[in-house]
Amino acid sequence: MTIAEIAENLEKRPYSSREFIEQIAVYLERQGNYGQSVVQAAYQHQVPIFVPAFSDCSAGFGLVHHQWNSPESHLTVPHSPLPFMDSNPSSDKSGKFVYIS
């Protein structure tokens, strides 16, 4: 499971979904995966991605796998919108994209 592998190689601490998704992009680039990926495009252009319900998405299942197999030392992705809300709306290089399915 790729998400579990990413989680295993990170410092064990709470991550915002923005931080964790950034680490997914780093992993993809290290693997030489330069396909058409919203995650990679956002990372390359320094656009943060916030997932308000990370544990409910498919990547969340990989994170649960990591937590289940590392009960004493694992990372978490709490449900805090603060990093998303703190983005600078006055910056000409920032913006927010909200996708609701």
CB atoms within 10 A of CB 19: 16
Question: In the chain, what are the domain boundaries?
Answer: 2-85
CB atoms within 10 A of CB 87: 14
Encode pLDDT of 23-82 as tens digits. Answer: 999 998 888 877 778 888 888 888 888 877 776 677 777 777 777 787 777 767 765 454
Sign of the CA dihedral with 44 first, then 31, 79, and 54 last:
positive
Contact 15, 23 (CB under 8 A): yes
pTM, rounded to two decimals: 0.69
Residue-level pLDDT at 44: 87
